[in-house]
Amino acid sequence: MKRLLAGAATTALALGAALVATAAPASAHTPVVDADCSSVDVALWAYAERGRANEVTVTVDGEVVEKERFGRDFRTSVDLDPTTDHEWEVEVEAADDPRWDWSDEGTTTACPSGEDLGQVGVYVYPKLDAEKAAAWENSGPQELVTGHDTAVPADPWALTWTVEPLDLDAVRDVVGEDVTDEALCTAWGVQQDLIRLPSREYDLPTDIEYSADGNHTGDFPAGSLVAWDHQDLSELLPAGTCGPGFAPGRPIAAPPAPVVEAAPVAPAAAAVCGAGIQDVVLPEDTTLIRYTATEEGVVAEAADGVTLADVPDGYVVEEDGSRAVLPAEAVLPAAEDCALVPGEIAAVCEADVPYLGYEVTLPEGVEADGDTPLTITFLHPRGGEDHVVTDQPLGGRVLWPGASASEPKQWPGYVRNEDGSYTQTEGNYAWTREGVQVRFEVNPSYSTVVDYPPASSECANPPVEPIAAEDVTLVSDDEGSQLASTGATVAGAAAFAVLLVGGGALVLWLRRRVQA
């Protein structure tokens, strides 16, 4: 049962992580190991897809039992001999970066005999009639105080498995501070149940309620209840709770818990441009503080009874001291540190054809994924559809939107008529003629405004006289005429682009690139 549930949970988590990873700029390597007396279950997801170059090794009692290469995800379950103890270790070598290498190890203990192991549940309840003895028929709503695994004895009705006395603090946590000790001693009962289902197979219900018509709530599975016992709560409270000196009406107050303080640790800041909060290496969890990465940042959560103290700068601590958040911007690279470095960028002409010539450089330490990582976006100034050119090198040139370098020639803001003449129009990317903002995008970004080459450059406008009388397909905003690009609306947070006025300057620009 446990392994089935664990497998389902692992699959769900892996699927959720994969969906998130598709939106993230970098992989969020996630290893999980779940070991019990019968198996070691390993789930790895959101690793870099590098041709199955990641590697996982599972060792049990000093012997390698599984060694596999994998791509993005990996899952396995190694069966153990349930009759003996074991030592296990899992090691992962990440293909993309040694800092994502990971290992974990631990021990398991032999499984108790399934047919002899069960568990005890201890429930307290207000009696329906305080004058009558504790009994199932005299039971109000029952609430679980404690439960534990135990061997099922040969004679369960000898009641050797019952718990006595009960912990007063545990009882008080269940019944609440508004119940007086007089009521606890006179009007409350206890039911203890022995069931033949160990905790690894079954979670005890926290609430049970008797019903005269037999439709009880919180019943145990059919056939699992072995024995039970009812007593007045006064018989099971610590000695002296209901004895001499008892003052009716006085609430039982638990002694104040000792104050435990713990100082959270700040994680090392991510140094890679484009990294997300899931890429931050968290501090190691302790018994006092647990760390998680969320959209708001790195969260440090104190264990029950622990207060966060001596908190490092940057953490924002909640009023009760149980939780502190280090904002994401404190551990991720700043946008200005990841800005694309613009080189020579200009709107230029070759013969009578307008182009965008450009050169950009990635920030120091940033590596591009492939030879053509650049996306160039001409941003529509009035919210219309942007023009996008994808898969470009970091330096080169692209046709201006609406232009054509081959016959029939086209120019932005004009359409060609059947007689070969041209008519000015508000379509065919006319909006790019008035100065346009362009974004260059890899991971870092840069933006500026570029002007279309002026008419004096002899490439801004078509010739006045008709060239030829032939039928042609007119260009619209939805069709780039013979452009090496695709049109799309881009929703991106990173932005960078530049285009400068440069009518007739392509030759000069290319010469300067060669010299550089």
At residue 218, what is the residue type?
G
DSSP β-bridge partners for residue 189 = 125, 232
Q: What is the pLDDT of residues 149-178, one digit of tens each?
A: 888 888 899 998 998 888 888 898 999 888
Amino acid code (one letter) for 422: Y
Closest CA to 130 of 201, 179, 186, 182: 186
pLDDT level of residue 274 (50, 70, 90 thresholds): low
The Cα–Cα gap between 394 and 388 comes to 15
pLDDT at 59: 96
Helix (H) or strand (E) holding 58: strand 54-60
Asked whether the beta carbons of 356 and 429 are under 8 A apart, the reply is: no
Q: Which pLDDT tens digit goes with each residue over 48-106? A: 877 778 999 999 999 999 999 988 888 888 888 877 899 999 999 988 888 889 999 99
Residue 23: pLDDT over 60: no
Identify the pLDDT of residue 171: 92
Share of the chain above pLDDT 70, in %: 76
Cα separation, 422 vs 409, in Å, equals 10
Q: How far from 303 is each of 101, 167, 171, 261, 306, CA to CA, in Å?
A: 28, 21, 21, 10, 5
C-alpha 216: how far from chain center: 41
Amino acid type, 268: A
Helix (H/G/I), strand (E/B), else coil: 192: strand
Residue 11 is inside which H or E element, if any?
A: helix 2-23
pLDDT at 264: 94
Which is more confidently placed, 505 or 135? 135
CA 86 – CA 407 distance, rounded (Å): 77
pLDDT at 247: 41
Q: How confident is the model at residue 10 (pLDDT cuts 50, 70, 90)?
A: very low
Q: Which of 208-222, 468-482, 496-510 has the lowest mean pLDDT?
A: 496-510
At position 375, the amino acid (one-letter code) is T
Residue 393: is its pLDDT beyond 70? yes
Right CATH number for 2-108 from 2.40.160, 2.70.98, 2.60.40, 2.115.10?
A: 2.60.40
Tokens 């530049």 belong to 498
Question: How is the chain split into domains, by residue range?
Answer: 2-108, 117-235, 260-333, 337-515
Segment holding 149, helix H or strand E? strand 142-151
Beta strand spans in 179-303 (E): 188-195, 207-208, 225-232, 260-262, 289-294, 297-302
- Tokens representing 79? 């069966």
* Residue-wise DSSP of 409-460: PB-TTEEE-TTS-EEE-S-TTGGGGG-EEEEEESSSEEEEEEPPPPGGGT-S
Give the pLDDT confidence of 322-347 residue by residue, as tens digits.
999 999 988 887 766 677 777 778 78
Query: Whole-prediction pTM value?
Result: 0.33
Q: Of the given ranges (91-95, 219-223, 268-272, 474-478), which has the lowest mean pLDDT? A: 474-478
Q: What is the pLDDT of residues 294-311, one digit of tens each?
A: 988 999 999 988 999 999
